Each structure stands twice: as C-alpha cells, then as structure tokens.
Amino acid sequence: ISGEEYERPGVEYFVAKNGLKYFFVDTTLLLGGKSQGVYAARFPLLKELWKQFESQYEEIPTTFEKSQYEAYLVSTDPSTTAPVGFFTRDEKTGIVVWSGEHGYPGCAEYLDFHKKHYPGGLRYWKCTSPKIDLGSKMLYWPEDVPGKLDENASHYLNLAKDILREFKDKFGRKGIIVAPYDCELFGHWWFEGNWWLARVLRWIEDDPEIKLTNTRLYLEENPPNKVVQIIEGSWGQASSHWVWLNEWTTWTWEKIYECEAKSEEIIAKYKDSADENLSKILKQLVRELLLLESSDWQFLITTWSARDYAENRVALHYENFKRLYDMASKYGSGQNVDEGEWNFLGTLESNDGVFMDLDLEPFAKK
C-alpha cells in the first residue's frame, strides 16, 4: 500500500523473541491444499464475496510428507532466533464439530440456531435438515437429543482413535490430535454442544486406548526435532489475508501505516523523557493506535456484519491518534497545550483506558 517493499519477519520470530514455546497454525499452512474455513458457513455474504477472490487463490504446495498429528519447529532465521514449536489444527476432527452442513450441529434432532419466534426471540424448532428453508423446520423435541448426543460422541471418539492408530502404524510413534474450537460454538451456535463435549471428555478419560493431554505436556514428553518451513497464511478464508485486505479495506491500512510510522518517530524521540504528562500523552497515543489496528474492523467491513460501526471506529481512533500526536509534538517541544486538550486526554483515558501498564520501548523506531 505504501509502495515500499521489504521482508517482514514471520509471526514465529516474535513468538520466539517473547519467550513463547509454541503456537498453532491451520492445516493448510503445513500440508498445503485448500483450507476448510468456518466463517463462510456462518456468514453467507462472506461465501459470496469469496467467489470474487477465489480465482486469485493458489493452493499451497506440499514439498514432503508431514503430518498434523505431531509438533514441528519453525524459524524465520535460525541464526538469530531459536526455533519455536507449533501444532497444526486437525481438519478431520474439526469439521464434524463446527460444521452445520457436514458435522454434528446440523443433525436433525438438534435445536435450530436461525429460526426464532417473533417477537420473543425464543427458538422452538429443530434443524430438521441443513438443506431446507426455515418454514419447513419441525418442532424441537428434547427427548430425541440424548440418543443423538451419544451417537455423535461415540463417532468422535472412534474417529480420534482411528486417526491416532493409523498415525502410529505408519510412523511408529504416538501422535496428538489438536482440536481447537471457538468457545461460542458450544451452547451458542450449537445449543447441545456442551452436553456433547461432556460426553466426549468423560468417554476419552475412561478409554484405555486414548488419553487427554495438553500441548505443554505433549512437548515435554515428545520434544520436536524437525525444523520445517510453513507458508504465510492466516485463520481466514482459504488461509489467506483477503478478508482483511481488499478493495473495501485498503483505506483503513493507509491510515494504520501512517499512524504506525508517526508513532515510531515520536516515541523514539520522547520515550526517555521523565515528564509524566508527556508519558501520559504517548501512552494514550499508543492505545489509540492499538485500537485502530484491531483486525475486527476489516472483518466487519468485509462481511457487512456491522460495516458502518467498524468504519466509524476506524475514523474515530484515527482522529484521536492524530490529535494526540499533535498534542505530544507541541508539548514535547515546549509549546503551550490548552486546557481543552488535557480534558480530551482525560476523556480518552477514561473511555479507551486499555493496557494501563504499557511499555513505550517496543513502539519506538529501531
């Protein structure tokens, strides 16, 4: 956007630099191919918009056999930072849990998420089928649910066991299934999801062939020794960045990059000042920058979920930043700052008082 091209370090560089031991990636970043994204299913407009960009999408190539059922190491530059571990999300156990079209939440017996009674907003209907319209949905019967939950939990348990058994037969060592889900899935998008999850956890705990663990314990018992490269990507549709960077959001990045450059310059100039008032201005300036940089705004703009709200928030934090930048420039150079500006700062500290323990050093230009 700025016209200047340069190599940016990968996320793994910052993860390692800050002492974190591992992180998580989507399946295609390790294995290649096309990703199975959840948001296109939940936001119909996103699915339509994706059709406009799909022709520009290239599948990530696979170079050698790797598996999402073990951890690896990755490093932007091994000569400068130690490799950091990463785990890969498993699509096979993922899609059956989050997908209303291909997974458990779309089973006929479960409560339908979309059909609601007007004006109360209560839901009395079951999914019936993911392919029929709302008018054809049938009444929800709670008595039908426990049996279906048992069936789905049993299927998931056996699926996980089959996957790990196949991995061990092929590679001669134990694997791990990393199955992350949005918390809002259980009980919100999928009303019965909490009950299903409780069954799965209890049944795995009682099964001698499989055990529950966490990523920290797994790394301690199975430290990775293979350093691999992973493709640049995201958790967005098709593992790409188009949801956040497209023709509707370019203007937001122009403002973000402008503010980033200005913040680096002015913080480098005044970060060592002992003046508490100047420090307060600079810290609030950084808060406004961080709020401006929130990736939610581009997502909401692209999906039209709350486009006006998101655009207004971008404009608001941009204007707040500029005003604080001018205030810091004047005050730092010894000029008078009127009372109205100090009141403005106080209002922002009250309304946008996040990250109260900010350290200015990382935001200064190096």
Find the CATH number of the domain harbouring 320: 1.20.1430.10
* Residue 211 main-chain phi, psi, to 5 deg: -140, 150
Q: Put the strands of the sheet holding 22-25 in their side by side order.
A: 22-25, 84-88, 72-74
114 in any annotated domain: no
The pLDDT of residue 319 is: 98
The pLDDT of residue 51 is: 54
In this prediction the pTM is: 0.77
My answer on whether 229 and 274 are in the same domain is no
My answer on whether 226 and 273 are in the same domain is no
The pLDDT of residue 226 is: 86
Look at residues 309, 353, 303 and name the one whose alpha carbon lies nearest to residue 46: 303
Domain-ending residue, one of 173, 207, 239: 239
**Peptide bond between residue 44 and the one before it cis (omega within 30 degrees of 0):** no
135 in any annotated domain: no
My answer on whether 222 and 258 are in the same domain is no
Number of domains composing the chain: 2
My answer on whether 225 and 305 are in the same domain is no
What CA–CA distance (Å, rounded) separates 60 from 234? 13
Look at residues 125, 107, 129 and name the one whose alpha carbon lies nearest to residue 116: 125
121 in any annotated domain: no
Task: Estimate the share of the chain in helix, then strand, then coil, as percent rounded to the nearest 5.
Answer: 50, 5, 40
Show the tokens assigned to 48: 């339509």
The pLDDT of residue 351 is: 94
What CA–CA distance (Å, rounded) separates 279 from 360? 9
My answer on whether 159 and 76 are in the same domain is yes
What DSSP line would sit under 148-164, residue for residue? HHHHHHHHHHHHHHHHH
Q: Would you give the distance in Å from CA 262 to the centre of its chain? A: 27
My answer on whether 257 and 356 are in the same domain is yes
Look at residues 265, 292, 266 and name the one whose alpha carbon lies nearest to residue 279: 266
Domain-ending residue, one of 181, 212, 239: 239
My answer on whether 86 and 168 are in the same domain is yes
Query: What are the residues whose beta carbons fall under 8 Å from the beta carbon of 76, sequence distance 6 or more?
Result: 9, 10, 12, 13
My answer on whether 168 and 226 are in the same domain is yes
Domain-ending residue, one of 239, 264, 291: 239
141 in any annotated domain: no
My answer on whether 219 and 275 are in the same domain is no
Integer CA distances (angstroms), 82 to 25, 74, 75, 293, in order: 18, 9, 7, 28
Q: Would you give the distance in Å from CA 54 to the centre of its chain? A: 21
Bridge partner list, 139: 125
109 in any annotated domain: no
The pLDDT of residue 336 is: 93
Show the tokens assigned to 180: 């992350």
Look at residues 319, 253, 311 and name the one whose alpha carbon lies nearest to residue 288: 319
180 in any annotated domain: yes
The pLDDT of residue 57 is: 43
Task: Report residues of the chain scoring pLDDT below 70.
Answer: 1-3, 33-64, 76-81
Integer CA distances (angstroms), 160 to 31, 134, 209, 249, 346, in order: 19, 34, 10, 40, 54
Burial of 350 from C-beta contacts in 10 A (0-12 / 13-18 / 19+): exposed
My answer on whether 215 and 338 are in the same domain is no
The pLDDT of residue 65 is: 78
My answer on whether 77 and 182 are in the same domain is yes
Classify 21 as helix, strand or coil. coil
Classify 56 as helix, strand or coil. helix
My answer on whether 272 and 304 are in the same domain is yes
Domain membership of residue 186 as a residue range: 11-104+154-239
Show the tokens assigned to 68: 């999402």
What CATH number corresponds to the domain at position 231?
3.20.110.10
131 in any annotated domain: no
Q: Are 73 and 225 in contact (CB under 8 A)?
A: yes
The pLDDT of residue 36 is: 44
Show the tokens assigned to 108: 């006929």
70 in any annotated domain: yes
